[in-house]
Structure formats: C-alpha cells, structure tokens
Amino acid sequence: MDQFTLNLLVVGASFALYIGIAIWARAGSTSEFYAANRGIHPVLNGMATAADWMSAASFISMAGIIAFVGYDNSTYLMGWTGGYVLLALLLAPYLRKFGRFTVPDFIGDRFYSQTARIVAVIALLVISITYVIGQMAGAGVAFSRFLEVSSSTGLWIASAIVFCYAVLGGMKGITYTQVAQYCVLIVAYTIPAIFISLQLTGNFLPQIGLFSNDTSGVPLLAHLDGLLTDLGFRTYTEHHQNTLDMVLFTLSLMIGTAGLPHVIIRFFTVPKVSDARASAGWALVFIALLYTVAPAVGAMARLNIITSIYPNGIDQPSLSYDARPDWMHNWENTGLLAFDDKNGDGMIQYYNEANAPAMATEAGWAGNEMVTFNRDILVLANPEIAGLPGWVIALIAAGGLAAALSTAAGLLLAISSAVSHDLIKSVFNPNISEKGEMLAARVSMGVAILVATILGLNPPGFAAQVVAIAFGLAAASLFPTIMMGIFSKKMNSTGAVAGMLVGLGVEMVYIFTYVGWFFIPGTNMLGNTPDNWLFGISPASFGSVAAVLNFIVAYVVLGMTKPAPQEIQDLVESIRVPRGAGVARATH
C-alpha cells in the first residue's frame, strides 16, 4: 500500500470517529451545548482539557521552535505547564463554584455590569480568534503534506471537519471527541519519539535518550552542540536570550494559560467544585506525557536533519540534490521546504551565513542553500527523516490534525458561547427561547470558523508564535480581572472595566507596533526585531507587563470610586469559603 493511501485511511478513520462521536453526543439543550450538562467525570475532563489545550502549537510547532532555538525556547514548556498550576490552585474551583457557563458570564455577574460583560466578550473574541488562527494554519500544514494538497486547500478541509462535529455536538460532543483526539495525538507523538530515541541512543524512553550517548559514543546534546558550532550556528544548550524578556515571556505564558477562556470553560463541565481541581491535576498528568518528550523530539530531529545533509561529516557537502532523500522531495512539494543551489555545484550546503565557518569560504560555498524550512513541519516530517515505517508517518498525520482540530473546536465553542449567551441572551434579547439561543450559538460558530479560516491563510508566524500572542492577550485582559473578581471583594465594576480596557488596549497597541494589525502584511510600524523592542521586551512577552498595568489601573480607579456593593462582597466571600465543595448549583 502506498503512503498516500495509508495516510488517507488512517486520517479518514480518525475523522469518522470524531464525527460519529459528535452525532452520538449531539447537544439537545443549552446546558449540554455550553457545559455538557455538568456531567463529565474529572478524569475524562482532564483528558479532554489536555487535548483542548495541547494544540497545534504543542504538537506541531513547539518541538520545531525548540529544535531551531534550543534551550531558550524551553520557556514554552515552563510557561504553559506552570500556568496550569495557577489555574488549578487559584481559579478553577472558585469559577466552578460560581456556577456560570462562560468567562464573560462570570465577569458580568461578579462585577454587576453589562459593560464589564461586553468588554470581556470583546477580549474573549480577540484572544480566541488570534489563537484559532494558529490551529487552522497548523491543520493546513498537516493536510498539505499528507493529503498532497496546498496548505490553503488543507485549511478549508480542516474547517469543514471542525464545522461538522463542533456545530453538531457543542460542549458535550466536543468533550468526548477531545478524549478520542487526546488518545490519537499522544500515541502519534510518542511512538515516533520512541523509535527515534532507540535509533540514536538505544534508549526506549526519549526523556532518558536526550541525556544519553548517541551512536557516535558521545552525549547526544554535546554532539549536537559540536555540529551546530562547526556550522556557524549558536550552541543548542546555552542561554542566549535577553534574561528579562525570557522571564516576562514565561510569566506571560503562565498567566495567559490561567486566563484562556476556552480552557476555563472546561472546568464548568464537572459535577462538583472539588472535581474542577481534580480535573486540572489530571490535565497536568496527561499534558506531561507529551511535554516531557518534546525536548527530546526537538534535539533529535535537529541532529537528524544535519546528519541527513552531511552523512559523512561536515567538512564537505556530501548530499547532492539529485540524491536527496524522499522526505525532502515530499516537503518541497508543499512549498514549506526549499533549496537553492547558490554555487551551482549540485550539492546541498547548510550552515549559518551570518557566522559562516572558515571551511565555507575555503570550499567556495555561496550561502546556506536550505532557503526555506518552516518549523511547523519538523514534528510531522520527523518519522520520514528517521526513515520510520509508513504506518508511523500516517499516525503522526492523524495526531497533528487531532491536536489542531481539538483546540480549534474548544476555541470556537468559547466564541459561539460568548456571542449567543453573553451578548444575545444576556444583553440584547433576554427573552430569547432556548431553541433560538441554540441556533444563534451554531450560526455564530459557523461564522467564527469562516473568519478563522480566512485569517489562517496568512498567519503572522509559526503556530507557536501566533499562540504565544494569544496568551499575551489573555494575560493582559482576562486573567487580572478574574483574579480580582475572586480575591478582591471590594473591586468594583468601574475598576474592572478600566483595567481590562487598559490591559487589552496596551497589549494590542504593542502587537500592532511590532507585529502588525490583525496580521495584515506591511502594517508593523517599527519592525519585529529585538533592537526595536521596548527594553528588549518581545510582543509575545509584553502580556505580563500589560497585566501589571491592568491591576494598577483597576486599583487606582477603585480608590477613586465606591467599592462593590455589600451583596457582591458577600457573594465573593461565599465562593471562597472551603465548605460547599459538593455539588455547585448553576444559576442558568
């Protein structure tokens, strides 16, 4: 059986499973559509949460950016997992006890203000649309290679699949679909990593193989450092990044994780308050199964790329264009990998032009000839680079698509819930029927899928970079407001609204200045380079600064206005009291 047919069978079978689950678990009420009727077991919810959160950025992109940057990009691992600790300890149980369906629902009721609700909806839409762009782009990358279509066509296919099961099932269908998707993605990610670790180090566990000797008899990381240095690249294991930016980026990812609306709403689906905390714990366990493997995948893939180009050492290029392996041909067809024979010698040279080693000049090399290598392809190409069996390649395709589509579905549900429940029902038409609200939710989800697809055709960066921007937006706007809503009894609506507007506004201005306005090419004013950033703080790291400004503005405004009414303060006190960890009764 040829590889394309095998890919089609495995990916098709996974899609049939997802759509079948969505039909079986189709939501029949608003409670099922928004919160799965609050009947999900914490272990299953933890698994679904892990799939919801381990997006294309985690599965497809994270190992790629670690592979090409090294130690400094371990911040992604620290920030994203650390954020779940914050979420489990500080937010999830209290939000579940409050008994609402959505984040704007909580903010609107806690701050007794429709204005606060609307601002929260705006923040949620900006965050979720930015985030979902990365997922759709990642799905497009996977489709483009494994179904042999263009990335644009792959993006439209992904949109159609998400539409089928997300619009049908709502939270109930999405939850059970995400459980299946987690099983697919974790198996797909782990099996190739085990094969490659055995090939390079003889160790079954990639986590151990990363710190073991490779087939050359030297530590794998030391071997990789030596090759990169000889080719003019920075060492893999040393710290090169601006320390302030690294700390702020990690913090931004942490508090951004704790403020992500599509993650938070998962904790509204469990029966009891105590289950919300348990769900977060289980999610960390399931996430760790992938996140402890990712550094090994990145390092081993980078080593495999170099040795595939220089199989006999790097003194002279020894891989000709005509003899390049099939994996290179396959990915060149997608446009995500490209070579240019700059000196016309018929051989591939791969090195850092900015810091060219002496041998490059001596040999007459005219520049790095791997002119395009989209980092999002690395995990998907890894089985091919390592020469693994065809069924492993098909499995990684299904896993990458599962990761992208599971998170996309969660984000789209957050968007549709904000529009139908928090705007239409709570603000514009309180008397809307349940059937009308369900229709509004499904229509808004369809519109959100269309918008995300159009924007995903021209993403501003790799999947993980786009997602990092979304985390910064969540850190700047929703996280401080939720924290103050739970732990500051006196915080009033005026302070909360002012803080959200300043945090979100400052963060968006900073992104506009250095990245571009809603990802329209040519709109960045100062250039997205470290030399231009304010105090060396990258746009992805600025969310933590904007969060501090959110807190400051909120408390300054609180000092100038009346505190929250006593009944609101009593309400806040009631959700923080330890007792009541039994069944929490929703008010909707």
In this structure, of 519-533, 548-562, 570-584, the range with the lowest mean pLDDT score is 519-533
Q: Which of 123, 143, 122, 124 is nearest to 56 (CA)?
A: 143
Q: Which has more pLDDT, 497 or 382?
A: 497
Q: Which of 87, 408, 123, 125 is nearest to 257 (CA)?
A: 87
Tens of pLDDT along 408-464? 777 887 888 888 878 888 888 888 887 887 788 888 888 888 887 887 776 655 555
- Collapsing DSSP states into helix, strand and coil, what is residue 373? strand
Query: Which single residue is written with the structure tokens 């400094």?
Result: 72
Q: Which of 106, 222, 125 is nearest to 518 (CA)?
A: 125
Model pLDDT, residue 168:
64
For the chain, the structural domain boundaries read 3-300+386-470
Residues with Cβ within 8 Å of 428's Cβ and at least 6 positions away in sequence, in order, are: none
Distance CA 162, CA 401 (A): 11
What sign does the CA torsion over 305, 370, 335, 373 have?
positive
Contact, 382 vs 297, CB < 8 A? Answer: yes
Contact, 182 vs 410, CB < 8 A? Answer: no
Tens of pLDDT along 140-157? 777 776 777 777 787 788
Tens of pLDDT along 302-315? 888 888 888 877 77
Model pLDDT, residue 582:
45
Query: Any idea what DSSP says for residue 61?
Result: I
Residue 382 vs residues 57, 303, 402: alpha-carbon distances, Å: 16, 11, 17
Model pLDDT, residue 230:
86
Model pLDDT, residue 548:
96
pLDDT bracket for residue 562 (50, 70, 90): very high
Query: How many Cβ atoms sit within 10 Å of the Cβ of residue 364?
Result: 9
Please check the confidence at residue 201 and state whether its pLDDT lies above 80: yes
Distance CA 349, CA 369 (A): 5
- Collapsing DSSP states into helix, strand and coil, what is residue 371? strand
* Buried residues in 213-236 as b, exposed as e (16+ CB within 10 A): bbeeeebbbebbbebbebbbbbbb
Please check the confidence at residue 585 and state whether its pLDDT lies above 50: no
- What does the block give as tokens for 375? 């980092």
Q: Which has more pLDDT, 163 or 516?
A: 163
Model pLDDT, residue 406:
74
pLDDT bracket for residue 516 (50, 70, 90): low
CB-count burial class (<10 Å; 0-12, 13-18, 19+) for 311: exposed
Model pLDDT, residue 169:
60
Model pLDDT, residue 316:
66
Model pLDDT, residue 460:
56
- What does the block give as tokens for 34? 């928004």
Distance CA 260, CA 238 (A): 31
Q: What is the mean pLDDT of residues 44-65?
A: 79
What sign does the CA torsion over 18, 20, 22, 24 have?
negative
Query: Any idea what DSSP says for residue 367?
Result: S
Distance CA 267, CA 95 (A): 8
Query: Any idea what DSSP says for residue 347?
Result: B
* CATH no. of 3-300+386-470: 1.20.1730.10
Q: What is the mean pLDDT of residues 510-522?
A: 61
Tens of pLDDT along 498-513? 999 999 999 988 887 7
Model pLDDT, residue 220:
92
Q: Of the segments 181-195, 353-367, 391-405, 544-558, which one has the largest average pLDDT value?
A: 544-558
- Collapsing DSSP states into helix, strand and coil, what is residue 27? coil
Query: Any idea what DSSP says for residue 44?
Result: H
Query: Which single residue is written with the structure tokens 């081993």?
Result: 300
Model pLDDT, residue 118:
92
CB-count burial class (<10 Å; 0-12, 13-18, 19+) for 512: middle
Tens of pLDDT along 244-269? 888 898 898 889 888 888 777 787 77
What sign does the CA torsion over 174, 180, 186, 189 have?
negative
Q: Which uninterrupted H or E stretch holds 372?
A: strand 370-373
pLDDT bracket for residue 558 (50, 70, 90): very high
User: What's at 24, amino acid-wise?
Assistant: W
pTM for the whole thing? 0.78
